[in-house]
Chain A
Amino acid sequence: MSALLVVVLALPAAGAMVAALLPGERAGRVAGTVAAALAFVASLLLWFDRSAGGTGVIRPWHEVDVAWAPALDLRFHLGVDGISYPLVVLTTLLTLLCCAYTVGHVPAGGRGSALVALLLVVEVGMLGTFLALDLVLFFVFFEVVLLPMYAVIAGWGGAGRRAAARKFALYTLFGSVLLLVGVFTVVASAGTADIVALTGGAALPRGTQHAAFALFAVAFAVKSPLWPLHTWLPAAHTQAPTVGSVILAGVLLKMGTYGLIRVAVGVAPEGARWAAPVLGTLAVAAIIVGALVCLAQSEIKRLIAYSSVGHMGFVLLGVATLTATGIQAALIGNVAHGILTGLLFFLAGAVKDRFGTGDLAALGGLRERMPGLSGLLGYAAIGSLGLPGLAGFWGEAFAVIAAVRRGGPLWLTLGVIAAVGGALTAAYFLRLLRRVTHGPASPVVAGAVCGPIARLEVAAWSPLVVLALAVGLVPALVLGMASEPVRAVAEWVAR
């Protein structure tokens, strides 16, 4: 079964190569989608035959560990456990949906097969990041994502794509530099880059832990993104093509939060305890700022982009509590945000494609023209604002509960403010619905020639719709497998 880990990485890589090299443009798109589908199946197969191996804090179900460059102490060490598995499946699913969507609908800008190839390369990087159990390998995969994503935004994006792509690259490179220095710090001090060994007990000195956590935290905060390092996000999300936004919001941001849990907290728990109040405060600031900015947005994709800042604030608040409940909340919040915001971006893309504008003032009365689409938009928005019964609820509620349970005046205050932020989230999503779906049909909506929801769109959206409900009703889908590893990490941190 361990070989399956390599297969999961190799399939999209091979698919990217085939998609890029096939002479037929449409054939390339189809071939890439087939590879993405196979990767999705392979990632589902990882579920079977799992048994926690090893004795450390991280006990992967499946593991591949071969020497890569012995002279540099580089190991090709992959593994999957309950923390990374949901994200792996989320990645393969969303990439498959995006590739399938591209088969029928190529955004303007370039060859569709090249776009599919780039999406698959991004998938390799994201999967590798979630699977890597070696710090250097983690960094390598973390970096792999940057340039193809840059190309997706710059090649197929909207009018301001160049500036948005440049901003994205600048911020992310800055984060990478800090991450690299952090990796050097840890590896030089501990003498190993093995995340399992580092999490399990290779105690770094106190000062090194503080330095390493600070470096990691800022690096991942750029990616997540944490206020005030979030300003690349609205531009990139708004300008990226629909599939780019879906991947960005659905998975790419999770690399930051996952890195924070697995690498920053795992490797430098002492540093995490030291920095937790700051992290928590910034996370709550992100929730409030994100919500307030959303209330003032006039463009649908920009609004959804800023809502990510708020949602990731909840996730980071969960991580910052450093309790089992908080980290559980962060994990499910991650997955829920991936599903719901992915869906929201798909829907926003559909709206923009049909009416040629995402301006909230110009839209209105969508319910009358396209009841199905506006119904789905309402479903996704209500899920995203945290209605119990849909996926968004668990992450936000339990982040607040974890903060309150953590106790003390600071965490109590943070919990209360975050709860207020949750209410604000509801306010801006309801405002979005009122502006777009309700009221009389605006001239743009009334006058546009728009087809019904295509079968392809149904195919791309329905898995997300189903998952949003499934995770909402049965959170154990995500939390069941994660509880054991999360408890181990939380105990290790609390020591």
Chain B
Amino acid sequence: MNDLKLPAIDYAALAPMLILFGVACLGVLVEAAVPRARRGLVQVPLGLLGLVAALVFVIAEAGTRKRTAGEAIAIDGPALFLQGAIIVLGVVALLLIAERSLEPGGPFVAQPARPVGSEADRSQAAGEGGATEAYPLVMFALAGMLLFVAANDLLTMFVALEVFSLPLYLLCALARRRRLLSQEAALKYFLLGAYASAFFLFGIALIYGYAGAITFSRIHQAVTAGTGSGVLLFAGLALLAIGLLFKAAAAPFHVWTPDVYQGAPTPITSLMAACTKTAAFGALLRVLYVGFPGATWDFRPIIGVIAILTMLVGAVLAVTQTDMKRLLAYSSIANAGYLLVGVLAMTPEGVSSTLFYLVAYGFTVIAAFAVVTLVRDADGEATHLSRWAGLGRRSPLFAGVFTFLLLAFAGIPLTSGFTSKFAVFGAAFGGGQVWLVVAGVVTSMLLAFPYLRVVVMMWLSEPGESTPSVSVPGAFTSAALVIGVLVTLLLGVLPGPLLDLTTRAGDFVR
């Protein structure tokens, strides 16, 4: 029997992931060791410090292009950029999650195991401190996402997928209010996510059968050589894509999105909308650009159709929504379509524009959900659209902020929404995908209407009896809101620096 040879490991390159996994484990220990009342006080600084430390290591690694841990991990421009983006967006989302002043006890349920509607449940709804288990779960999810975008073979990618999915399923079920809705969302997300994971795994098996390997470089060699069964290749790629497009919320794999976005605690929704999307598209970029560029001509028409379908479904169904969180969910679906347009350019500009879009969209969507957490009445958040009527009279500042964010979603110039849409459409045009650009431009006009409808409703309706008040945000929510709005404005007015960064970071290592 041969000696077991351990692969060389570059710990500095892996440090961000190791730190976050370490912090997550520490968080579990905190749950066990610290008295309940003080756990939040320890968990929040611990999580924030961990994220900042991870970000420092990501920045220190800038410019690195290597594969490590036996080719399982690739640390290159896109991986580092995406890791940085996930960490920064994670910090902002964590601020929302840590907010405790909006309602007594915070947005999470105290004891998820208590049956809904029981006496014990009513007492916890009244103001018992929320579950602090959310923090380690969030850290596990973020760590998994970092691994997901850096995975250089399909198995590592699958492991990372599960590592960040499972905590998210749990987090979805932790809402303090409307717990049945929250639990239903979690179950739905879990079941459908499990199917998607199974598809992904089956895809790995078929691709292994085709290429005899799971690392992207070997798969690329096999695809370029053109040996092996085409059926295995295409079926395998299709199944992989289904797994990833599910996480990215592309039609027709989007059905979970509105329910889960609506049911999950709003801070968690913002985490999913910003970070999960970033991770999913990061992985999709790596799979398509590193593993399967040789099959571009085969997958581009099919994923292109999916992109158009996604934009259409998102835009058209957003028009009919009556719930703010569902509306934002459909807008998130439509945005997945625009991101796919950027991905399908299959040029370096395609990568950089997609990276830019992810960051721009992430900040805007977190800020939008932060506003959603503020509009509340005695029963928690008032998410029904009719309740937002006349908000402009009640609270011009927050209605103004939300209007600005909606205009950014609609892609109005001088917001990040315009710059990022312009970047992906420009990249797709340069990549010869005129049909996708035309579809994108037309649907973005359609998509402007649900946003404008909300704007009109907020400003031009008289506030009624049921118009809720806007809570004064605590320090954490204010910080998240200010960061999100500023970045949205800044990336619209001065997109240069970040665009330069994405251009320099656009090179995958194979």
Residues of A within 8 A of B456 (CB): 154, 162
The answer to whether A68 and B496 touch across the interface, beta carbons within 8 angstroms, is yes
Contact of A379 with B by CB under 8 A: no
The answer to whether B445 and A69 touch across the interface, beta carbons within 8 angstroms, is no
The answer to whether A136 and B352 touch across the interface, beta carbons within 8 angstroms, is no
The answer to whether A174 and B445 touch across the interface, beta carbons within 8 angstroms, is yes
Q: For window 55-109 of chain B, which residues contact chain A by CB distance below 8 Å?
A: none
Contact status of A139 and B413, CB under 8 A, knowing A69-B496, A155-B459, A184-B437: yes
The answer to whether A181 and B500 touch across the interface, beta carbons within 8 angstroms, is no
Q: Main secondary structure on chain B at its contact with chain A?
A: helix
The answer to whether A181 and B438 touch across the interface, beta carbons within 8 angstroms, is yes
Contact of B414 with A by CB under 8 A: yes
B52 to chain A, nearest CB (A): 28
Q: For the complex, give the distance between the alpha carbons of A452 and B299 in Å.
A: 74
Contact of A465 with B by CB under 8 A: no
Contact status of A143 and B412, CB under 8 A, knowing A72-B422, A136-B422, A181-B441: yes
Q: For the complex, give the distance between the alpha carbons of A174 and B419 in Å.
A: 19
Q: For window 415-471 of chain B, which residues contact chain A by CB distance below 8 Å?
A: 418-419, 422-423, 425-426, 429-430, 437-438, 441-442, 444-445, 448, 452, 456, 459-460
Residues of A within 8 A of B503 (CB): 71
Interface range on chain B (Cβ under 8 Å from partner): 20 to 34
The answer to whether B414 and A180 touch across the interface, beta carbons within 8 angstroms, is no
The answer to whether A143 and B413 touch across the interface, beta carbons within 8 angstroms, is yes
The answer to whether A70 and B426 touch across the interface, beta carbons within 8 angstroms, is no
Contact status of A71 and B442, CB under 8 A, knowing A140-B414, A147-B407, A184-B426: no
Contact status of A144 and B442, CB under 8 A, knowing A70-B500, A136-B422, A188-B430: no
Residues of B within 8 A of A296 (CB): none
The answer to whether A69 and B412 touch across the interface, beta carbons within 8 angstroms, is no
Residues of A within 8 A of B352 (CB): 71
Residues of A within 8 A of B423 (CB): 71-72
A96 to chain B, nearest CB (A): 24
Q: For the complex, give the distance between the alpha carbons of A162 and B455 in Å.
A: 13
The answer to whether B445 and A184 touch across the interface, beta carbons within 8 angstroms, is no
The answer to whether B460 and A184 touch across the interface, beta carbons within 8 angstroms, is no
The answer to whether B460 and A162 touch across the interface, beta carbons within 8 angstroms, is yes
The answer to whether A184 and B499 touch across the interface, beta carbons within 8 angstroms, is no
Residues of A within 8 A of B500 (CB): 70-71
* Minimum CB distance partner of A142 in chain B: B413
The total of Cβ contacts below 8 Å across the A-B interface reads: 71
Contact status of A177 and B442, CB under 8 A, knowing A143-B413, A184-B429, A188-B429: yes
Contact of B337 with A by CB under 8 A: no
Residues of B within 8 A of A188 (CB): 426, 429-430
Contact of B362 with A by CB under 8 A: no
Residues of A within 8 A of B437 (CB): 181, 184
Contact of B502 with A by CB under 8 A: yes
Interface range on chain A (Cβ under 8 Å from partner): 20 to 34
Residues of A within 8 A of B494 (CB): 68-69
The answer to whether A69 and B430 touch across the interface, beta carbons within 8 angstroms, is no
Contact of A67 with B by CB under 8 A: yes
Contact of B495 with A by CB under 8 A: yes
Q: For the complex, give the distance between the alpha carbons of A9 and B70 in Å.
A: 57
Residues of A within 8 A of B448 (CB): 173
The answer to whether B499 and A72 touch across the interface, beta carbons within 8 angstroms, is yes
The answer to whether B442 and A140 touch across the interface, beta carbons within 8 angstroms, is no
* Minimum CB distance partner of A140 in chain B: B413
Centre residue among A150, A151, A177 by max chain B CB count within 10 A: A177
Q: For the complex, give the distance between the alpha carbons of A173 and B441 in Å.
A: 11
Contact status of A69 and B441, CB under 8 A, knowing A143-B413, A184-B429, A187-B426: no
* Minimum CB distance partner of A176 in chain B: B445
Q: For the complex, give the distance between the alpha carbons of A160 and B93 in Å.
A: 43
Q: For window 119-173 of chain A, which residues contact chain B by CB distance below 8 Å?
A: 136, 139-141, 143-144, 147, 150-151, 154-155, 162, 169, 173
Contact status of A72 and B413, CB under 8 A, knowing A155-B460, A169-B452, A177-B441: no
Contact status of A69 and B429, CB under 8 A, knowing A155-B460, A173-B448: no
The answer to whether B426 and A67 touch across the interface, beta carbons within 8 angstroms, is no
Residues of B within 8 A of A74 (CB): 495
Q: For the complex, give the distance between the alpha carbons of A154 and B457 in Å.
A: 11
Q: For the complex, give the distance between the alpha carbons of A154 and B495 in Å.
A: 32
Q: For the complex, give the distance between the alpha carbons of A122 and B326 in Å.
A: 33
Residues of B within 8 A of A181 (CB): 437-438, 441
Q: For the complex, give the distance between the alpha carbons of A340 and B180 in Å.
A: 65
Q: For the complex, give the distance between the alpha carbons of A143 and B445 in Å.
A: 12
Residues of A within 8 A of B442 (CB): 177
The answer to whether A69 and B413 touch across the interface, beta carbons within 8 angstroms, is no
Residues of A within 8 A of B445 (CB): 173-174, 176-177
The answer to whether A69 and B419 touch across the interface, beta carbons within 8 angstroms, is yes
The answer to whether A72 and B426 touch across the interface, beta carbons within 8 angstroms, is yes
Centre residue among B413, B460, B494, B495 by max chain A CB count within 10 A: B413
Contact status of A147 and B412, CB under 8 A, knowing A72-B419, A155-B460: yes
Residues of B within 8 A of A71 (CB): 352, 423, 495-496, 499-500, 502-503
Residues of A within 8 A of B496 (CB): 67-71
B423 to chain A, nearest CB (A): 6
Q: For the complex, give the distance between the alpha carbons of A177 and B440 in Å.
A: 10
B345 to chain A, nearest CB (A): 12
Q: For the complex, give the distance between the alpha carbons of A139 and B419 in Å.
A: 12
* Minimum CB distance partner of A154 in chain B: B460
Residues of A within 8 A of B413 (CB): 139-141, 143-144
- Bits for B474-510, please: 1 = Cβ < 8 Å to A, else 0: 0000000000000000000011100110110000000
Residues of B within 8 A of A150 (CB): 452
Instruction: Provide a sorted-by-A list of 22 A–B residue pairs whose CB atoms are within 8 angstroms.
Output: A67-B496, A68-B495, A69-B494, A70-B500, A71-B496, A71-B503, A72-B419, A72-B422, A140-B418, A144-B413, A144-B414, A147-B407, A151-B459, A162-B456, A169-B452, A173-B448, A177-B442, A180-B441, A181-B437, A181-B438, A184-B426, A184-B429
> Which 7 A-B residue pairs are closest in the complex by CB-CB distance?
A71-B499, A140-B413, A188-B429, A69-B495, A143-B413, A69-B496, A177-B445
